[in-house]
């Protein structure tokens, strides 16, 4: 089967090429999926920039995928051949940039019936990240005494921010605030449902104060935030909660005075460590599919770069790394 990968990493993101590799065979709870579409995430270019495969091996990238189950392992019970699925895979396994891909069924959801494969492929990684950050890490259902029932999403026009805004609007009663750095990204965040959009290029705390809503209980930063920790510490409510998805080395002491809870979200944790609750990702993806099919949430796809090949993937990763991307970039078909 055809796969796209590399033998050596490259910070220039120019090392991808096509390979012919053996078609994998599913065992246990794995599914073999005929990959119809993928989307590109920051983790793709970060891995391609600096992660070397085993000597003599090929590293196949890709996490988001939508496709059709063609074969299931002997212990699989959630899906059968012919089922249309979407998922984000695991960082410790070969990726989705291949005609066929093995994935643990417990991190797989049914593809929304109302979306084509490309639009569905835009959703899994970001939906899992946003869902786990807000409902598992921030625990937004639990009140913060004296705080505004509000969440600030830093980076509202990115892939994670786009779906986080929608999930917060549909599944909570929070006032949703988001940051954006350009007129077009601000408009996108508003279109996703943010009640208020403020400028990421200006200090955030005065802009939040000017809204007159009070200090927000929750902050979810979808972009590197170390440089604005002092600003976030000023604007968040005492005893508030902050979620981060970038593993940057940063001093979190500005949050100590307010007893702010600081937590990290990595959507690969459950599949990577085979946690006891790994199947939660299957269930939440099914709930996202229901939200899509009911019209309450929509795909965050912004651009389709065409076929899944080395040139298109390198172009997509380079654009995503530039920081100018809005929503999600997808590719479909081999």
Q: Tens digits of per-residue pLDDT, 261-279?
A: 999 999 999 999 999 999 9
Q: What is the pLDDT averaged over residues 58-73?
A: 97
Q: For residue 332, what pLDDT is reported?
A: 97
Q: 102-120: per-residue pLDDT in tens?
A: 999 999 999 999 999 999 9
Q: Which of 96, 66, 99 is nearest to 83 (CA)?
A: 66
Sheet holding 17-20, edge to edge: 17-20, 2-6, 59-60
148 beta partners: 216
User: Which tens digit of pLDDT belongs to each residue from 177-235?
Assistant: 999 999 999 999 999 999 999 999 999 999 999 999 999 999 999 998 888 999 999 99
- Where residue 248 falls among pLDDT bands split at 50, 70, 90? confident
pLDDT the model gives residue 247: 77
C-beta of residue 159 within 8 angstroms of C-beta of residue 41 = yes
Phi/psi at 331 (5° precision):
-140, 150
84-87 and 59-60 strand pairing? unpaired
Give pLDDT, residue 103: 98
**Residue 251: per-residue pLDDT:** 86
Instruction: Give the integer Cα–Cα distance in Å for 22 and 2.
Output: 9
- Give pLDDT, residue 201: 93
Secondary structure (H, E, C), 171-231: HCCCEEEEEECCHHHHHHHHHHCCCEEEECCCCHHHHHHHCCCCCEEEEEECCCCHHHHHH
pLDDT tens sequence across 121-146: 999 999 999 999 999 999 999 999 99
- What is the pLDDT, as a whole number, of residue 322? 93
Confidence of residue 246 (pLDDT cuts 50, 70, 90): confident
Place of tokens 């899994």: 124
Cα distance between the two ends of the chain: 10
Burial 141-160 (b: 16+ CB within 10 A, else e): eeebeebbbbbbbbbbbbbb
């Amino acid at each position: 089967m055809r796969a796209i990968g590399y033998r050596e990493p490259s910070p220039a993101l120019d090392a991808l090429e096509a390979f012919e590799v053996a078609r994998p065979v599913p065992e246990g709870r794995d599914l073999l999926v005929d990959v119809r579409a993928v989307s590109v995430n920051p983790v793709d270019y970060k891995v391609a920039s600096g992660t070397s495969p085993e000597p003599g091996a090929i590293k196949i990238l890709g996490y988001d995928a939508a496709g059709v189950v063609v074969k299931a392992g002997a212990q699989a019970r959630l899906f059968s051949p012919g089922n249309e699925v979407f998922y984000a895979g695991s960082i410790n396994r070969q990726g989705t940039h291949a005609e066929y891909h093995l994935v643990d069924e417990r991190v797989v959801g049914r593809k929304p019936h109302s979306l084509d494969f490309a639009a569905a492929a835009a959703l899994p990684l970001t939906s899992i990240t946003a869902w786990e950050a807000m409902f598992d890490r921030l625990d937004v259902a639990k009140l913060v005494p004296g705080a505004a029932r509000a969440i600030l999403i830093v980076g509202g026009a990115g892939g994670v921010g786009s779906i986080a805004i929608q999930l917060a609007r549909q599944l909570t009663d929070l006032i949703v605030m988001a940051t954006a750095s350009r007129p077009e990204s601000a408009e996108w965040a508003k279109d996703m449902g943010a009640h208020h959009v403020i400028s990421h290029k200006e200090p955030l705390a005065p802009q939040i104060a000017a809204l007159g809503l009070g200090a927000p209980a929750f902050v979810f930063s979808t972009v590197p935030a170390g440089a604005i920790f002092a600003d976030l510490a000023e604007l968040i409510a005492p005893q508030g909660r902050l979620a981060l998805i970038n593993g940057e080395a940063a001093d979190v002491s500005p949050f100590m005075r307010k007893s702010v809870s600081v937590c990290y979200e990595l959507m690969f944790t459950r599949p990577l460590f085979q946690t006891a609750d790994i199947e939660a990702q299957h269930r939440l993806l099914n709930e996202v599919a229901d939200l899509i099919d009911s019209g309450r949430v929509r795909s965050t796809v912004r651009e389709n770069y065409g076929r899944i090949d080395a040139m298109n993937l390198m172009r997509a990763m380079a654009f995503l790394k530039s920081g100018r991307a809005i929503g999600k970039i997808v590719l479909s078909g081999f």
